[in-house]
Amino acid sequence: MLPVHPAGKYYFNTLTSLILRNENILFEGCKLKNLFPINRLDRETSGLVVFAKSSSLAAKLQHIFSSSDTLKKYSAIVFGKTLPSWVVDKPLAKKQFGEIRNHMVVDNSGLPSKTSFKTLKSFDSFSLIEAILHSGRRHQIRAHLSFNQTPIVGDKQYGLHPELFVDFVSNPSLVSDIECVLLVGSVRQLLHCSNISFFHPVTSVLLDFTAPSPNDFNYFLNKFN
């Protein structure tokens, strides 16, 4: 579970720095000197991350990613039985939530936020769903699912026991894997960026990337199958 880019106390142990330090990763025969992450996944979210190799290309890609020209699909395992399909079109704002700062909640003072959802498979107490982002707010999918009362399995902050998140942030050693599984269903939040599709800003070629479900997704689903 890695932060995408250096920030705060995270500098060397990030996805960006690990890629740059990997001597086996070459671009056009040359070692990469810099990378610019275009989409940033939450620390416990798995899946696709797009990087640009120059600041000029990054600016163009960020413009594309902030528009409706980019398709971003996520898969998630959530608590509860969900509808075949539904849309949450509710503004999100940062609020203080108990001891949690910068917690995103549905609030009319917030920024417009829209997510489309589709149920892929239902179990007795859980559902496997697909989410498509129509805007790119902080923690958007997690906040909208929490508002829908179907939080993501393993989500400490927006799940059934937010006090777990407070303990985890203050001292991760206070929260064991067993405690996470017992209280929120999984060691990490079962949210995965599964597909990104967009037109290259220079060549106009359609680029379509897919990441298969990670092992912990499959393990959880097989357990209930």
* pLDDT tier at 69, thresholds 50, 70, 90: confident
Is there a catalytic annotation at residue 89? no
DSSP state for residue 151 in the 8-state scheme: P
> What's the mean per-residue pLDDT of the chain?
86
Please give the pLDDT value at position 131.
Answer: 98
- Map out the domains of the chain as residue ranges: 1-33, 44-224
Please give the pLDDT value at position 32.
Answer: 58
Measured distance CA(56)–CA(14) in Å, rounded: 23
| Residues 196, 37 contacting (CB under 8 angstroms) | no
Measured distance CA(63)–CA(81) in Å, rounded: 36
Q: Percent of the chain having pLDDT more than 90? A: 59
- CATH T-level topology, domain 44-224: Pseudouridine synthase (3.30.2350)
Q: What is the largest CA-CA distance in the chain?
A: 52
Please give the C-alpha separations between residue 145 and each of 106, 113, 216, in angstroms, as whole numbers: 11, 12, 20
Q: For 170, list phi and psi in degrees, rounded to 5.
A: -70, -40
In this predicted structure, the answer to whether residue 180 has a pLDDT above a threshold of 60 is: yes
In this predicted structure, the answer to whether residue 5 has a pLDDT above a threshold of 80 is: no
Sign for the CA dihedral angle at 133, 70, 197, 27 comes to negative
The helix or strand, by DSSP H or E, that contains position 142, with its residue range, turns out to be helix 140-147
Calculate ∠ Cα 25-29-33, nearest 5°.
60
Q: Stretch 6-10: mean pLDDT, rounded?
A: 50
Q: Stretch 153-180: mean pLDDT, rounded?
A: 89
Please give the pLDDT value at position 160.
Answer: 87
DSSP characters for 53-90?
Answer: SSHHHHHHHHHHHTSTTSEEEEEEEEESPPPSEEEEE-
* Catalytic-labelled residue, pool 42, 124, 177, 208: 42
Terminal-residue alpha carbon distance, the chain:
26
The alpha carbon of 147 is separated from its chain's Cα centroid by a whole number of angstroms, namely: 17
Measured distance CA(23)–CA(31) in Å, rounded: 7
* pLDDT tier at 100, thresholds 50, 70, 90: confident
In this predicted structure, the answer to whether residue 89 has a pLDDT above a threshold of 90 is: yes
Measured distance CA(198)–CA(64) in Å, rounded: 8
